Amino acid sequence: MDSTTLVMVVISILFVFLYHVKSFFIRYFSNRLPPGPKPKPIFGNIFDLGEKPHRSFANLAKIFGPLISLKLGNVTTVVVSSSYVAEEMFLKNDQSFANRTIPDSVRAGNHDKLSMSWLPISPQWRNLRKISAVQLLSTQRLDASQALRQAKVSQLHAYVQDCSKKLQPVNIGRAAFTTSLNLLSNTFFSIELASHESSTSQEFKQLMWNIMEEIGRPNYADYFPILGYIDPFGIRRRLASYFDELIVVFQNIICERQNIRSSDDSSAKHTNDVLDTLLNLYDKNELSMDEINHLLVDIFNAGTDTTASTLEWTMTELIKNPKSMIICQNEIEQALGKGSLSIQESDISKLPYLQAIMKETLRLHPPTVFLLPRKADSDVELCGYVVPKHAQVLVNLWAIGRDPKVWENPEVFSPERFLDCEIDLKGQDFELLPFGAGRRICPGLNLAYRMLNLMLATLLHNYNWKLEDGMTLNDLDMDEKFGITLQKVKPLQVVPIPRY
């Protein structure tokens, strides 16, 4: 046998060997995928999603276990539905799951390349994260802006007081949204973007919900990426329009501020607010204007709609469970005295039952039903199964919060379960992850929690609440509409009755 023939034989044997090794590993990893429903040809498990995927996935987890795999079109998707799987994911494999699967809609306006929420772990992401954590949402800045939050909550109280005098119902979600919007706009821009008496806040609220809904909407372009070229349902086009609408508002404010900063007029107002901080970074070429625009989109979107929705769910649960409301009102009265209209952030630490109410609401109604989708950067072993490279990973917070293996009577609203309980919200207790965990935990966690407790304490201390005439507790609608957040289908409208 000559050398050429020998080489060809060796190459052939090696080729066959590698082919069989590859086939073995394909079968091995396929067999080690988490269990799940059998996919249908072409479409896979798309039709298993239903109108409320969080509930559909929770039901599948009851059949196949807390870690399931599905084939959504061409995309392998793994869903985490228990705290112990989430713990292994975040503690042992956070780096492997740190990047995002990008929904086709988020490519609108290059948002995926500019948004801290969607960027991959990179120097750009680290820079935006550092700016947010240190200069925008740090404990020091939040402490320094306590008086501002107090003023916005006082405005909320004045609005509710006026409704009480007129015996008018309060739309809780809208009132909370206006308060949150004005808090952010004052903190960032030193101006108010809405008032309780105008329709402006409702227009903003609808815009924010439209953004959340389009990002969260099931989209065939995500399941069959080739469809992204044609955007068959117009989701990306609509979202681009919503982003543009919001950015126009920001740019008008930014241009006016830049004119003031460049003015030689000594009487020009110097605010030293967050916008000034961002423009200082822009002047130093540490941030681009596109990054500023999309950072503001992220913060205003996450900091208004989710806060408003959470407070609305909290008040709805308390209307349904009046004993819990009375216990909390008594706690506030004992801690602060009767008729004390102004509640300070420093008072919240004296109100463990109020904080327990908020945790219980976040357990049952997390601000986002799924954490933003993660992507496996390599084949990752998780709880004895393999999550294959490029798989999309969804953490079903709604299912984790209602896991009967962790929570006694999980469907029952019971704040008492959090009394004398060490479970916190900061991403270390995997039974309760409303703001996520790991390196991509929500940077606005502390601001959101401060505002929610402060608004709730103000509403409960000063008022009793009743349904509109002719309504009973049985008429209270608990239905939800699916997006990145779960909003009530029918807004909560209740009548405030002064307590003092």
Contacts 24+ apart (CB under 8 A), 93-97: 93/380, 93/382, 94/437, 94/438, 94/439, 95/439, 96/376, 96/377, 96/378, 96/380, 97/374, 97/375, 97/376, 97/377, 97/380, 97/393, 97/438
Task: Collapse the DSSP code of 97 into the 3-class scheme (helix H, G, I; strand E, B; otherwise coil) and give the result.
Answer: coil
439: pLDDT strictly greater than 50 = yes
* Residues 47-60, mean pLDDT to the nearest whole number: 94
8: pLDDT strictly greater than 70 = no
10: pLDDT strictly greater than 70 = no
What is the DSSP secondary-structure string of 236-293?
A: HHHHHHHHHHHHHHHHHHHHHHHHHHH---TTS----SHHHHHHHHHHTTSS-HHHHH
Q: What is the pLDDT of residue 475?
A: 78
Other C-beta atoms within 10 Å of 473: how many?
A: 10
Q: What is the pLDDT of residue 469?
A: 81
User: Using CA atoms, how far apart are residues 207 and 443, in angstroms rounded to an integer?
Assistant: 22
CATH placement of domain 32-498: 1.10.630.10
| pLDDT tens-digit series, residues 141-160 | 888 888 888 899 999 999 99
Q: What is the pLDDT of residue 22?
A: 43
Of residues 267 and 179, more confidently modeled: 179
| pLDDT tens-digit series, residues 318-364 | 999 999 999 999 999 999 888 766 788 999 999 999 999 999 999 99
* Residues 490-499, mean pLDDT to the nearest whole number: 93
Q: Tell me the whole-structure pTM to 2 decimals.
A: 0.89
Q: What is the pLDDT of residue 305?
A: 87
Q: What is the pLDDT of residue 29?
A: 47
284: pLDDT strictly greater than 70 = yes
